[in-house]
Amino acid sequence: MAKSKIGAQDDFPRGQTKACQVAGYDLAVYALSDGYYATQARCTHLKASLTDGKIIDDQLIQCHRHHARFDIRSGEVVDWANFPPGIQLLNFICPRKALKTFPVSVEDGTLYVEIS
Ligand code: FES
């Protein structure tokens, strides 16, 4: 597993999400109350950018497009796409799929991510 530099901790304000490209991967990096987390940058439903989404309760990321919700720490689907009404008809070709997650660490004010 390779460890790659993301950037300065000060550039990741608490409660926000930021898009980063690290070692050829597009990531969404989240600054939560207990630390920093990273997932793949695109929603597993129809690939909307998760950095345009909304963090809910310091725990979930809600995709802005069809409102799928994922646990940021585990990547698990909490609620699948359900907006606007009728989008569920598409879901038989877009089954629930968790986000990939990547461990983030902080060393001397710098964030690092482990990508396998
Ligand atoms: S693209 Fe994210 S919920 Fe549809």
| Beta-carbon-side half-sphere exposure of residue 74 (alpha carbons within 13 Å) | 7
Determine which residue's CA is closest to atom 4 belonging to ligand 1: 66
Render pLDDT for 59-71 as a digit per residue (tens, 0 to 9): 999 999 999 999 9
Indicate which CATH number applies to the domain containing 43: 2.102.10.10
Residue 2's pLDDT band (cuts 50, 70, 90)? confident
pTM passes above 0.85: yes
pLDDT digits (tens, 9 = 90+) for 70-94: 999 999 999 999 999 999 888 888 9
| Range(s) of the domain holding residue 6 | 2-115
- CA 57 to ligand 1 center in whole angstroms: 19
What are the tens digits of pLDDT across the range 20-41?
999 999 999 999 999 999 999 9
E-strand ranges in the chain read 2-8, 17-22, 25-32, 35-40, 54-56, 60-62, 69-71, 77-79, 101-102, 104-107, 110-115
Task: Work out how many domains the chain is built from and give that number.
Answer: 1
The pLDDT confidence band at residue 107, using thresholds 50, 70 and 90, is: very high
